[in-house]
């Protein structure tokens, strides 16, 4: 599916978030605490915007995804990141190889969330950071009403316009079945991460979770 939608993915991101996704990515990079001299891994990197944002802060970055179609787009966008094909559930990296591992809008697609988070924690050194940027379901009106209107009606309509019905009906359903902020925090703590915290932004639609490797 991601191979197929690679061509419309960036435009859809900007339309669906009114361009705000760049700001959320910058906050994820802040939480990853990377800069010159650090090594970072962005898993399920897609077309690479989060990896590119970390490279812009001076970090040495690997962007990894199992879809070759999205990596073609990522490679065309930046040569400052090393783009590699890989499965987030079985990362081809040694223990503690990175100072931080991030995932943007990808954790909800992991077929085994615990395993994906565990792999991110495994490849980060002790004291390093794991950051998860994800869409979450707001609990209270009016945002919950707006959210369900936007996600259940507008997003699938946009999907039909782009000819990608299936992908943009999958998006709302994948968000709904994804754990809420407290549950995701608990899943991160179960992988052994300490100091697990989360920030909700965009009126409670976006969650930024972070934790530190023991």
Ligand X SMILES: C[S@@+](CC[C@H](N)C(=O)[O-])C[C@H]1O[C@@H](n2cnc3c(N)ncnc32)[C@H](O)[C@@H]1O
58, two tokens: 């001076």
3 state DSSP class of 106: coil
17 or 144: whose CB is closer to ligand X?
17
Q: Is residue 136 close enough to count as binding ligand X by CB under 6 A?
A: no
Q: Per CB under 6 A, does 121 bind ligand X?
A: no
Applying the rule CB under 6 A, the residues between 5 and 44 that interact with ligand X are: 44
Selected from 12, 31, 33, 49, the binder of ligand X by CB under 6 A is: 49
Rounded-to-integer distance, Cα 109 and Cα 101, Å: 17
CA distance 114 to 64: 18
What is each CA distance from 214 to 43, 73, 96, 124, 158, in whole angstroms? 20, 35, 11, 10, 43
Residue closer to ligand X by CB (options 114, 141) is 114
* Token pair in block for residue 39: 């090594």
Provide φ and ψ at 127, rounded to 5°. 90, -10
Total interface residues for ligand X by CB under 6 A: 18
Q: Where do runs of H (alpha helix) occur along the chain?
A: 2-17, 21-32, 49-56, 68-77, 113-122, 143-149, 155-162, 165-177, 181-190
Indicate the residue among 171 and 188 with the shorter CB distance to ligand X.
Answer: 171
Q: Are 134 and 207 in contact (CB under 8 A)?
A: yes
Does residue 172 interact with ligand X by CB under 6 A? no
109 binds ligand X (CB under 6 A): yes
Nearest residue by C-beta to ligand X?
Answer: 46
Q: Which of 128, 121, 108, 110 is nearest to 34 (CA)?
A: 128
Q: Which of 89, 143, 154, 199 binds ligand X (CB under 6 A)?
A: 89
CA gap 12, 140 in Å, rounded: 26
Nearest to ligand X of 46, 118 (CB atom): 46
Contact with ligand X (CB under 6 A) among 7, 20, 26, 66:
66
Kindly tell me which residue out of 46, 128, 181, 185 binds ligand X, with binding defined by CB under 6 A.
46
By the rule CB under 6 A, 138 interacts with ligand X: no
Shortest Cβ 106–ligand X spacing (Å)? 4
Total length of the chain: 214
CB of 33 to ligand X, least distance (A): 19
Is residue 159 involved in binding ligand X (CB under 6 A)?
no
Q: Which residues bind ligand X (CB under 6 A)?
A: 2, 44-46, 49-50, 65-67, 70, 87-89, 104-106, 109-110
């Amino acid at each position: 599916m991601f191979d197929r939608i690679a061509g419309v993915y960036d435009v859809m991101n900007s339309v669906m978030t009114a361009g705000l996704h760049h700001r959320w990515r910058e906050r994820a990079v802040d939480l990853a605490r990377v800069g010159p001299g650090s090594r970072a891994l962005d898993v399920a990197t897609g077309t690479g915007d989060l990896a590119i944002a970390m490279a812009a802060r001076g970090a040495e970055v690997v962007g990894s995804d199992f879809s070759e179609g999205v990596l073609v787009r990522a490679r065309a966008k930046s040569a400052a990141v090393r783009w590699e094909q890989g499965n987030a559930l079985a990362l081809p990296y040694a223990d503690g190889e990175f100072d931080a591992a991030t995932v943007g809008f990808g954790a909800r697609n992991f077929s085994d969330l615990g395993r994906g988070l565990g792999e991110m924690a495994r490849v980060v050194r002790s004291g390093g950071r794991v950051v998860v940027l994800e869409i979450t379901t707001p609990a209270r009106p009016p945002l919950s009403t707006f959210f369900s209107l936007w996600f259940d009606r507008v997003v699938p309509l946009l999907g039909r316009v782009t000819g990608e019905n299936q992908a943009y009906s999958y998006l709302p359903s994948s968000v709904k079945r994804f754990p809420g902020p407290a549950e995701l925090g608990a899943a991160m703590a179960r992988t052994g991460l300490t100091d697990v915290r989360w920030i909700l932004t965009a009126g409670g639609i976006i969650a930024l979770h972070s934790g530190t490797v023991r």
